[in-house]
């Protein structure tokens, strides 16, 4: 099988395309012919060894993938060869034309989604779902601001927010990202490069403030997010690339909370409950992932550069086989 292999931390040139033998799956595992793999910022942190990420070498990147089941172990009861599926974790890595996965992390891919879209369900939708339903405990009718709505997680959060009956505000830095967010159903967008955007958001809510903020870049925004909150408001930290100063009085005055989130902390039960819910939402047409940039396996390095480039407007994927 063709896989991207990484043998040491480093820049994009450590992403090497190699041929490998398919490992023999154990009884609870499936072999999946991968058509598309999701590319997420965390893949670049693991490759580069930044943000305290470590791994064992050599490895093949990619937790998120979608394709067709090729073979199943004797204890696999939920899937059969030929099924369209997506996976949210892989034993051998999804930057490949074939991957081995435990059946615990494989879900049916609804017919109305392409493989490329299926490869965007794991990290982006899982993170957005946990932020909204678990960490923020969002209630229908609340107002949510997605600070960074144009990327994979942000666009997913718009759809999940709409499905849950929230008013959804968002930010982006480009016209393209803003348009993607409106197409996914954002009620109102702002530009996070404009230093007055917090004021504009406050004005939009007629000084009522925001119930929930999903924050993609806390080191830049958190200090100014807090005065935007209503009483009982919550900021969910999804992304941060450094330190930040806040005024704790902004929290005291509002009985407000700052809550962290790492998708990796979700238990198997939590994951299965949320991805099954995501599958149902997709079947109902409430989820339609935006694939903005598609690269071949050989271009994995370019895909890593793309996912870290400002001006997001959707997800980045690798196409391992034509659909
Ligand atoms: P992405 O597709 O690269 O999108 C990045 C988003 O951040 C874009 O919407 C971008 O907007 C926005 N952004 C850039 N500068 C910003 C600013 N000053 N203020 C607010 N937003 C800004 O990444 P993603 O997959 O959506 O992930 C977003 C972040 O969450 C990343 O840092 C990622 O590592 C992290 N993450 C964390 C978890 C977790 O478990 N906690 C899981 C998944 C992702 P423009 O490009 O339009 O400027």
Distance 148 CA to ligand 1 centre (A): 6
Q: Report the separation in Å between the CA atom of 101 and the middle of ligand 1, taken as the mean of its atom positions.
A: 27
DSSP string, 139-208: -TT-EEEEET-SSHHHHHHHHHHHHTT-EEEEEESSHHHHHHHHHHT-SEEEETTSTTHHHHHHHHTTT-
Compute the distance between CA of residue 184 and CA of residue 160 in angstroms, rounded to an integer. 10
Query: Ligand 1: which residue has its CA nearest to atom 10?
Result: 148
**CA 31 to ligand 1 centroid distance, Å:** 32
277 occurs within a structural domain:
no
What CATH number should be reported for the domain holding residue 169?
3.40.50.720
Residues with CB under 6 A from ligand 1: 40-42, 123-124, 127, 147-154, 171-174, 177, 192, 216-217, 220-221, 238-239, 261-263, 307, 310-312
Specify the ligand 1 atom closest to the Cα of 155: 26
Residue 270 belongs to some domain of the structure:
no
Each residue's pLDDT tens digit, 176-227: 999 999 999 999 999 999 999 999 999 999 999 999 999 999 999 999 999 9
Q: Are strands 29-39 and 65-72 parallel, antiparallel or unpaired?
A: antiparallel
Task: Name the residue with tokens 């979608």.
Answer: 66
Residues 300 and 260 in one domain: no
Q: Looking at the structure, do residues 47 and 92 belong to the same domain, yes or no? A: yes
Instruction: Indicate whether 271 belongs to any domain.
Output: no
Q: Which of 264, 279, 307 is the last residue of a domain?
A: 264
User: Range of 41's domain?
Assistant: 2-120+289-319
Q: What is the mean pLDDT of residues 118-143?
A: 98
Question: 52 with 136, same domain?
Answer: no
pLDDT (0 to 100) of residue 51: 83
Distance 191 CA to ligand 1 centre (A): 14
Query: 68 alpha carbon to ligand 1 midpoint, in Å?
Result: 30
Closest atom, ligand 1, to C-alpha of 312? 46
Rounded average pLDDT over 158-186: 98
Whether residue 258 sits in one domain with residue 140: yes
| Per-residue model confidence as pLDDT tens digits over 43-73 | 999 999 998 888 999 999 999 999 999 999 9
**Domain limit, last residue, from 220, 247, 264:** 264
The whole-number pLDDT of residue 23 equals 84
Q: Which residues pair with 72 in a beta bridge?
A: 30
Q: Is residue 24 part of a domain?
A: yes
- Closest atom of ligand 1 to 310 CA is 46
Question: 259 and 229 in contact (C-beta within 8 Å)?
Answer: no
Measuring from atom 12 of ligand 1, which residue has the nearest CA? 148
Are 30 and 145 part of one and the same domain?
Answer: no
What is the 242 CA–ligand 1 centroid distance (Å)?
A: 13
Alpha helices, DSSP H only, in 75-174? 115-118, 126-129, 152-163
Ligand 1 atom 28: residue of nearest CA? 216
Give the residue, out of 148, 222, 244, 303, with the most ligand 1 atoms within 8 A of its beta carbon, to mutate for a pocket test: 148
Same domain, yes or no, for 74 and 128? no
Would 215 be classed as within a structural domain? yes
> 282 in a domain, yes or no?
no
Rounded to the nearest angstrom, the distance between the alpha carbon of 244 and the centre of ligand 1 is 16
pLDDT of residue 49: 95
225 and 141 share one domain:
yes
Task: Report how far ligand 1's centroid is from the alpha carbon of 186 (Å).
Answer: 17
Are residues 16 and 58 both part of a single domain? yes
| Residue ID of nearest Cα to ligand 1 atom 31 | 239
Do 196 and 299 fall into the same domain? no
Examine the domain organization and report whether 190 and 202 are in the same domain: yes
pLDDT digits (tens, 9 = 90+) for 65-117: 999 999 999 999 999 999 999 999 999 999 999 999 999 999 999 999 999 99
Number of domains into which the chain is organized = 2
Let me know: does 86 contact 119? Beta carbons within 8 Å: yes
Residue 281 resides in a domain: no
Q: Are residues 133 and 80 in the same domain?
A: no
Q: What is the pLDDT of residue 52?
A: 83
Residue 12: CATH number of its domain: 3.90.180.10
161 and 35: one domain? no
CB atoms within 10 A of CB 205: 17
Q: Does residue 113 form part of some domain? A: yes
Atom of ligand 1 lying closest to residue 174 CA: 47
Centroid of ligand 1 to alpha carbon of 135 (angstroms): 18
């Amino acid at each position: 099988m063709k896989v991207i292999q990484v043998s040491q931390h480093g820049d994009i040139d450590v992403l090497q395309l190699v041929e490998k033998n398919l490992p023999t799956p154990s009884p609870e595992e499936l072999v999946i012919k991968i058509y598309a793999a999701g590319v997420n910022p965390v893949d670049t942190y693991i490759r580069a060894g930044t943000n305290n990420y470590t791994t064992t070498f050599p490895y093949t990147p990619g937790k998120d993938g979608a394709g067709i089941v090729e073979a199943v172990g004797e204890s696999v009861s939920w899937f059969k060869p030929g099924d369209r599926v997506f996976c949210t974790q892989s034993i051998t890595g999804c930057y490949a034309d074939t991957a081995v996965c435990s059946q615990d992390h494989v879900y049916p891919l609804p017919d109305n989604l392409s493989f490329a879209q299926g490869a965007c369900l794991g990290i982006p939708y899982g993170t957005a779902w946990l932020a909204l339903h678990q960490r923020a405990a969002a209630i229908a009718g609340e107002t949510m601001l997605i600070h960074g709505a144009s990327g994979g997680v942000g666009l997913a959060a718009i759809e999940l927010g709409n499905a849950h009956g929230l008013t959804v505000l968002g930010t982006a830095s480009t016209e393209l990202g803003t348009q993607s967010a409106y197409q996914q159903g954002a009620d109102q967008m702002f530009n996070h490069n404009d230093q007055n955007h917090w004021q504009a958001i406050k004005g939009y809510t007629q000084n009522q403030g925001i119930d929930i903020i999903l924050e993609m870049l806390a080191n830049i925004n958190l200090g100014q997010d807090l005065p935007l909150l209503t009483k009982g408001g919550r900021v969910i930290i999804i992304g941060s690339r450094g330190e930040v100063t806040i005024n704790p009085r902004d929290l005291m005055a509002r009985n407000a909370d700052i809550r962290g989130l790492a998708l990796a902390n979700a238990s198997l039960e939590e994951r299965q409950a949320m991805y099954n819910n995501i599958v149902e939402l997709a079947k109902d047409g409430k989820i339609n992932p935006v694939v903005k940039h598609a690269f071949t396996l050989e271009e994995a390095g370019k895909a890593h550069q793309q996912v870290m480039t400002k001006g997001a407007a959707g997800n980045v994927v690798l196409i391992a086989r034509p659909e």
